[in-house]
C-alpha cells in the first residue's frame, strides 16, 4: 500500500505540474488561432514570416545564441577542468564570481556596458586597448554580417551561473580525475586529455550548459533593447503592440524552438552516454592492464 500510495502521489504531482505548465500554453494557443469573426485561423503562424525584418531579427538571435554557446564552452570547459584538477582551493572564489550575474540586474549590467563603450575609445586612445574597444563596437564577425560582438560577451557573462554550475556538477559526479591521471600516465598531452577524455566524460553536462546558454541568449530582452539591437524578442514586442494574436503566436514559436532544441539535446545525450560509458570502461581496463604489466 505504501508503494502504491507513493506512486499515486508521484502521478498527482506530475499531473499538477503538467496542468500548471500546459494550461497557460493552451490558453495562449487558443487566443492565437481563434477569434469570433473567423473562427479557427492558423494563418497567424504563416503571416509572421512575411512581417518586416522577421528574418533579420530571427537570424540575429540565432547567430548570437550560437556564438554565445561556442565561446562559453571554449572558455568554461577548460576552466572548470583546471579548477577541478589543479586549483581546487579556487573553486569557492570562482563559485562566488559566477553567481554575481544573478545578483547584478541586467539593467545595471547594460548601463555599465554603455558607460565603458562611451568612455573607452577616447580615454584609451593611443593604447592597444583602443583597437579592442573599436572592435567591440564594430558589431560584426567575419563572414556572418552584422552580429553584435558586445551582446555575445554580455550573454556569456549572464549565462555564467548556469553554465558553470552544470559543468561543475558533471565534474563532481564523474570519475574525471582518475581518467585524466590514467591518460597522463600513458603519455597523453593536455589537448588530447581535453578533447578525448574530458569532453566525452562531460558530454551530458556540456550539452546542458549549451542548452542553458542558448535559451538565455535567444530569449534575452533587456540588454538588446537598451543597446538598440533588434533581436527576436524586441522585435516581438515591437510588432506585438499592434497585433496581439501575432505577438502570442511569435511567443509560442520562440518557446517551441527552445523545446525542440532541448529534446534534440536530450536525445543526443542519451545516445552518446552509452558510448561514453563504454569508452570509459575500456580506458580503465586498459590502464589497469598497463599498470599490471609495468609492475
Instruction: Give the integer Cα–Cα distance in Å for 106 and 118.
Output: 18
Higher pLDDT, 258 or 230: 230
pLDDT tens digits, residue range 180-217? 887 777 777 888 877 888 888 888 888 888 888 998 99
Q: Is 48 left (phi over 0), alpha (psi -120 to 50) or beta?
A: alpha
Q: Is 52 left (phi over 0), alpha (psi -120 to 50) or beta?
A: beta
Query: Exposed, middle or buried by CB within 10 Å (0-12, 13-18, 19+), for 224?
Result: buried
Would 29 be classed as within a structural domain? no
What does the mean pLDDT of the chain come to?
78
Higher pLDDT, 39 or 277: 39
Would 146 be classed as within a structural domain? yes
Where residue 202 sits, what CATH number does that domain have? 1.10.3720.10
Would 31 be classed as within a structural domain? no
> pLDDT over 70 for what percent of the chain?
84
Would 151 be classed as within a structural domain? yes
Higher pLDDT, 292 or 169: 169
Would 4 be classed as within a structural domain? no
Would 224 be classed as within a structural domain? yes
Domain boundaries, position 150: 53-294
pLDDT tens digits, residue range 135-152? 776 656 655 557 788 888
Would 45 be classed as within a structural domain? no
Pairing outcome for strands 39-40 and 34-35: antiparallel
Residue 70 has a pLDDT of 92
pLDDT tens digits, residue range 106-121? 888 888 888 877 776 6
Check the CA dihedral 50-53-55-57 and report its sign. Answer: negative
Would 15 be classed as within a structural domain? no
Decide: 235 and 57 in contact? Cβ < 8 Å. yes
pLDDT tens digits, residue range 280-290? 544 444 444 44
Please report which confidence band the pLDDT of residue 48 belongs to, taking 50, 70 and 90 as the band edges.
Answer: confident
Q: Is 53 left (phi over 0), alpha (psi -120 to 50) or beta?
A: left
Decide: 48 and 246 in contact? Cβ < 8 Å. yes
Total number of domains constituting the chain: 1
Amino acid at each position: 500500500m505504501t508503494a502504491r500510495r507513493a506512486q499515486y502521489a508521484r502521478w498527482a504531482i506530475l499531473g499538477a505540474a503538467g496542468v500548471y505548465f500546459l494550461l497557460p500554453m493552451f490558453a495562449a494557443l487558443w487566443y492565437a488561432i481563434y477569434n469570433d469573426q473567423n473562427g479557427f485561423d492558423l494563418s497567424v503562424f504563416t503571416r509572421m514570416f512575411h512581417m518586416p525584418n522577421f528574418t533579420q531579427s530571427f537570424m540575429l538571435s540565432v547567430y548570437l545564441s550560437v556564438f554565445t554557446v561556442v565561446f562559453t564552452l571554449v572558455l568554461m570547459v577548460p576552466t572548470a577542468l583546471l579548477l577541478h584538477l589543479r586549483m581546487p582551493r579556487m573553486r569557492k572564489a570562482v563559485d562566488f564570481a559566477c553567481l554575481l550575474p544573478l545578483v547584478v540586474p541586467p539593467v545595471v549590467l547594460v548601463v555599465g556596458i554603455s558607460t565603458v563603450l562611451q568612455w573607452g575609445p577616447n580615454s584609451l586612445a593611443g593604447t592597444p586597448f583602443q583597437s579592442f574597444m573599436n572592435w567591440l563596437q564594430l558589431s560584426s564577425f567575419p563572414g556572418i554580417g552584422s552580429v553584435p560582438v558586445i551582446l555575445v560577451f554580455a550573454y556569456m557573462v549572464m549565462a555564467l551561473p548556469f553554465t558553470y554550475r552544470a559543468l561543475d556538477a558533471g565534474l563532481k559526479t564523474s570519475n574525471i580525475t582518475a581518467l585524466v591521471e590514467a591518460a597522463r600516465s600513458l603519455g597523453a598531452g593536455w589537448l588530447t586529455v581535453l578533447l578525448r577524455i574530458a569532453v566525452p566524460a562531460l558530454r551530458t553536462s556540456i550539452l546542458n550548459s549549451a542548452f542553458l546558454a542558448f535559451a538565455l541568449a535567444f530569449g534575452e530582452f533587456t540588454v538588446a533593447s537598451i543597446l538598440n539591437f533588434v533581436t527576436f524578442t524586441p522585435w516581438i514586442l515591437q510588432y506585438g503592440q499592434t497585433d496581439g494574436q501575432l505577438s502570442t503566436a511569435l511567443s509560442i514559436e520562440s518557446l517551441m524552438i527552445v523545446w525542440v532544441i532541448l529534446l534534440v539535446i536530450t536525445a543526443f545525450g542519451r545516445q552518446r552516454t552509452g558510448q561514453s560509458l563504454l569508452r570509459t570502461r575500456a580506458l580503465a581496463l586498459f590502464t589497469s592492464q598497463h599498470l599490471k604489466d609495468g609492475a
